[in-house]
Chain A
Amino acid sequence: DIQMTQSPSSLSAFVGDRVTITCRASQSISTWLAWYQHKPGKAPKLLIYRASSLESGVPSRFSGSGSGADFSLNINNLQPDDVATYYCQHYSTFPMSLGQGTRLEIK
């Protein structure tokens, strides 16, 4: 089974900052990677699929990159509404799996 490891586990930044969350797979997953945003009490939201494709309606401040085993999610011009937990998920094979999550806060 493929394991997904995210870093950092938590992150605090100022409004307007650029933040980066990284995700590493235990083996190559090509670009079969998605990023989700999850706010407490809300439905998780797809941000990025196929490692770098922006889901419709998601602000262009969000971007994804990477291939093989190493990936990153970048958020430019951090906004208060970005406070959430972010997850990467591989969908290369079954079983699918997610990283442990990165909690993002505003300073």
Chain B
Amino acid sequence: EVHVEESGGGMVEPGRSLRLSCTASGFAFADYALSWFRQAPGKGLEWIALTRSKIYGGAPEYAASVKGRFTVSRDDSRSLAYLQMNSLRTEDTAYYYCSRGSTVTGAKYYSDSWGQGTLVTVSS
């Protein structure tokens, strides 16, 4: 059974950093992309980042709201993905979700399995 699970959330002061982890099981992790989404309080889901499989070059993609501050990475040997969040702002407060990205083209990805999310609170 495919399973992804986020961890590493917590409370952090503005300007500080936090790293989230996404643990995956039940599939060939190296063959898939991993996407990160978030949901701020009272808001809808927002896609923020994706790390491609090395099969398709491994290049990351970012939403404008996090580009330059957040970095995605992956450790295929441990079936882990990471979201490094720097220069955090109060508006980054949200539940953060990771998901498996499925593709048949290597260029277009939808999320077919999601975790339950981890809460990040940015507050002084």
| CB of A71 within 8 Å of the partner chain | no
Given the complex of chains A and B, what is the CA–CA distance between A29 and B46 in angstroms?
Answer: 18
- Chain A, range 15-72, C-beta contacts under 8 Å to B: 32, 34, 36, 38, 41-46, 49-50, 55
Contact B110 A34 (CB under 8 A): yes
Instruction: Determine the chain B residues whose CB is within 8 A of the CB of A101 once the complex forms.
Output: 44-45
If A95-B64, A98-B46, A99-B44 touch, whether A34 touches B111 (CB-CB below 8 Å) is: yes
Contact B108 A43 (CB under 8 A): no
If A43-B97, A91-B110 touch, whether A38 touches B115 (CB-CB below 8 Å) is: no
Residues of A in contact, count (CB < 8 Å): 27
Which one, A34, A43, A46, contacts B117 given CB within 8 A? Answer: A43
Contact B108 A97 (CB under 8 A): no
Q: Of all chain B residues, which has the CB nearest A87? A: B45
| CB of A13 within 8 Å of the partner chain | no
Which A residues fall within an 8 A CB radius of B?
1, 32, 34, 36, 38, 41-46, 49-50, 55, 85, 87, 89, 91-92, 94-101
Which B residues fall within an 8 A CB radius of A?
35, 37, 44-47, 50, 61-64, 97, 99, 102, 108-117
- Give 28 pairs: A residue, B residue, CB < 8 Å, sorted on A: A1-B64, A34-B111, A43-B115, A43-B116, A44-B37, A44-B45, A45-B114, A46-B110, A46-B114, A49-B102, A49-B110, A49-B112, A85-B44, A87-B45, A89-B47, A91-B108, A92-B108, A94-B50, A94-B61, A95-B47, A95-B62, A95-B63, A96-B35, A97-B47, A98-B45, A100-B44, A101-B44, A101-B45
